[in-house]
Amino acid sequence: MSAAAGIALLTLIAQMESAGQTRVLLFDDCPAGLEGFYAPSRNRIGLCRNNHNSDAALTSTLLHEAMHRLQHCRQPELAAQLDVEQRVDALEEEARALQRWSDQDPNTAAAWMRQRLKEQCSDRPRKLSKASLE
């Protein structure tokens, strides 16, 4: 990984945090196979550096998990449309579609995600309680 790619990833993380009113954490000790996660109860995105081989792969996972943040922001609309099993499948497919797009055109996908997060998550500020900082 080059220093420029590292800076680009850190810049994207800061942009996703700001636009999505969330927090992104980098981990080096995730279980094998876990690339990332979104924890809605703590409003955090976790990225597992130890299970990625490049910043491009981390960027793809970040956008996938940011889609889950966006889905959480618009949850009331989604919940009304789908039953539980359909909703989970639809949410994951939407996140995978963004991830595929980011693999082809990461800058455009990231710009799209930033705009959607700003539009749909700005009224849901991140809650910085003592528990969320742990």
Q: What digits encode the pLDDT tens for the residues 99-123?
A: 999 999 999 999 999 999 999 998 7
Q: Evaluate whether 36 touches 26 at the Cβ level (below 8 Å).
A: no
Look up residue 50 and give its two tokens: 């130890």
Flag whether pLDDT at 128 surpasses 90.
Answer: no
Look up residue 122 and give its two tokens: 């700005």
Q: Which residue, chain included where needed, has tokens 């420029």?
A: 4
Q: What digits encode the pLDDT tens for the residues 47-77?
A: 999 999 999 999 999 999 999 999 989 875 5
Flag whether pLDDT at 31 surpasses 50.
Answer: yes
